[in-house]
């Protein structure tokens, strides 16, 4: 009943609302599994579990497009980090991530709301920009401290 009214309100099929809702709720049991079995494991094992469970949930909730576009975004951000200096990292990252997201919105425009890869992509976009901002601030702060110590 609630899912049907939600589907009508959002002009989406009930199955799409149901999958999106269950995909969000599935994070809680996965958190319990992580806390119980993986929390004290070495980092590579934790990262493997979190990556595999996140990709599986994304594939089940949204579909193959979510995986493809997440990989494109992560690869693009990796190349930006490797090639750009700390001073221009955030503007380049923001331009890439926001440009890719807006292009996705324009390409996926429909009359009603639909569950497409742009839903998780918006969160990934903001996360990548934020992480690179923090990383560039740390790099610039470290460089300023080293420069100050050399000058003293």
> Per residue of the chain (152 residues), what is the pLDDT tens digit?
565 565 566 566 677 777 878 888 888 999 999 999 999 999 999 999 988 998 888 888 888 888 899 899 989 999 998 898 878 888 999 999 999 999 988 888 776 666 678 888 888 888 888 888 888 888 777 765 655 556 55
What pLDDT does residue 86 have? 77
Pinpoint the alpha helices (H) of 43-117: 43-61, 64-83, 86-107
Contact of 120 with 58, CB cutoff 8 Å? yes
Q: What is the pTM of this model?
A: 0.69
What pLDDT does residue 97 have? 92
């Amino acid at each position: 009943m609630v899912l049907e009214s939600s589907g009508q309100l959002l002009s989406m099929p009930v199955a799409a609302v149901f999958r999106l809702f269950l995909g969000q709720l599935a994070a809680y049991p996965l958190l319990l599994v992580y806390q119980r079995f993986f929390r004290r494991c070495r980092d590579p094992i934790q990262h493997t579990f979190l990556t595999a469970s996140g990709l599986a949930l994304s594939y089940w909730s949204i579909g193959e497009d979510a995986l493809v576009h997440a990989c494109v975004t992560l690869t693009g951000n990796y190349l930006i980090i490797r090639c750009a200096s700390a001073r221009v990292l955030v503007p380049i990252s923001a331009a890439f991530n926001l440009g890719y997201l807006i292009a996705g919105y324009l390409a996926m425009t429909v009359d009603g709301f639909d569950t497409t890869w742009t839903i998780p992509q918006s969160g990934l976009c903001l996360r990548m920009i934020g992480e690179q901002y923090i990383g560039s601030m740390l790099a610039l702060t470290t460089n300023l401290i080293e420069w100050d110590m050399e000058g003293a």
